[in-house]
Structure 1
Amino acid sequence: MAAHDLSMQLLRERELLEMLLFKLDEQQMLLATGRNRWIRHASTEIERVLAAMPTVALSRDALVVATADEWGVPEATTLRELIEAAPNDGWREVLTGHLTTMTALADEIEQMKQINEQRLRTAIRVSQETIAGLGVPSGEYTPSGDVVRDGDARLLDTRM
């Protein structure tokens, strides 16, 4: 019975990871389109999902221990160790599926997080430069925030 509860808990954890990935993707789209007005709300939603993670992980760990006890494997303290000690191929396959999916989601989340952090830093820098240059031409920027050319007026582009 503990193994079934563990599988259900792992499913809930996967759904939480998918929600986090969705919220990070949503944040990335807002950043890419310059809709900075909603960034604060997207960040708040990401924080809510992250706040739920420790509780879910603690529940998972408790169920891993309970399942290990039920299967007579007291030394199993991680999901990976529990998979190795599974009493049959069915449980090994189910738990491996959860672990594989959660690992892939974690990798995607890390990549998305890094991209978003870079875009947030760029947005902050562009905003600071804009504020600092109020009344002074600020030039042109690429979608990634790099300066294309300075703010000098030109009749003819001499960079050809």
Structure 2
Amino acid sequence: MGASDLSAALWQERRELELLLFRLETQRLHLLAGNLQWLSFTASEVENVLDRLRFEALARSVESAAVAAEWGLPAQATLVELIAGAPAGTWAEILREHRAGLRNLLGQLSAAASTGQQLLRNLNPPGSSGASPVGVAGPGPGADTAETLDQLTVAANIERARNILRRTSQPMLDQYLDGELGQ
């Protein structure tokens, strides 16, 4: 059942990538609406999907290596190499469809992450160190501790969200697809 298991792993990875795209879109909408109070939640949701994607990538690698061995290809064969080495029948076309779907999702994810990064950058006034978001003045004389703490929390959430967005690219998947992102 090697090729069937690989196809199932590719479907599962596609599902997680779609969920990641949804989470990034949700985060974008909250940022556009100015709902910074939800930033820690949306960042956590993105991070959770990224964690699951690592597992899915491992599962795909195992299944891919098994199929490669079954078809007489090197264990580290890319999806393009698997397509070329597929036996007569429908597997080449099924794998081509997976590749096209995954490449499309990677392109959408790249655009969504870029948009999210831009929105998060825009939360800081020009020339700032990135510590205080627009609309939140730095602690001035007589600022109470709660206000200062809220400002620091928002700034930390923005920085966390930026760091998580940097991790959304999937270079190993891009390499597996033969490094032709966007084509």
Provide the TM-score with structure 1 as the length reference: 0.77
Letter in 2 for 1:105: L
Residues matched between the structures, number: 135
11-20 vs 45-54, greater mean Cα deviation: 45-54
CA spacing shift, 1:42–1:55, aligned 2, 3 Å:
same
Instruction: Report what 2:8 is aligned to.
Output: 8
Partner of 1:90: 90
Correspondence for 2:54: 54
Structure-to-structure mapping, 1:22-33, within 5 angstroms? 22-33=22-33
Runs of at least 4 residues off by over 2 Å:
72-76, 124-130
Kept in 2, the 8 Å contact 1:84–1:92? The answer is: yes
State the distance in 1 between where 2:101 and 2:78 align: 16
Q: RCO (CA 8 Å, sep 6+): is it higher in 1 or 2?
A: 2
Kindly report the root-mean-square deviation, in angstroms, between the aligned alpha carbons of the 2 structures: 2.1
Matches within 5 A, 1:35-50: 35-50=35-50
Check the 8 A contact 1:71/1:86 in 2, yes or no: yes
- The reply on whether 1:112 has 2:128 as its aligned counterpart is no
- State the alpha-carbon separation in 1 of the partners of residues 120 and 74 from structure 2: 46
Contact 2:64 2:75 in 1 (8 A): no
User: Shift in Å at residue 74 of structure 1?
Assistant: 3.5
Structure 1 segment 113-152 matched on structure 2, within 5 A: 113-125=113-125, 127-128=133-134, 130-132=136-138
Instruction: Please list the CA deviations of residues 21-77 of structure 1 after superposition, one character each: whole Å capped at 9, or x if unmatched.
Output: 000000000011111111110000000111122221111111111011112223662
Identity of aligned residues (%): 34
Greater Rg over alpha carbons, structure:
1
Gaps of 5+ in 2: 126-131, 141-183
Cα separation, 2, equivalents of 1:75 and 1:34: 48
Aligned residue for 1:127, secondary structure, equals coil
What is the SS of the residue equivalent to 1:30? Answer: helix
Deviations 1:73-112 (A, max 9, x none): 2366211211111112410110111111011101100101
Q: Secondary structure at the match of 1:97?
A: helix
**Corresponding residue number in structure 2 for 1:80:** 80
Gaps of 5+ in 1: 135-160
TM-score by length of 2: 0.68
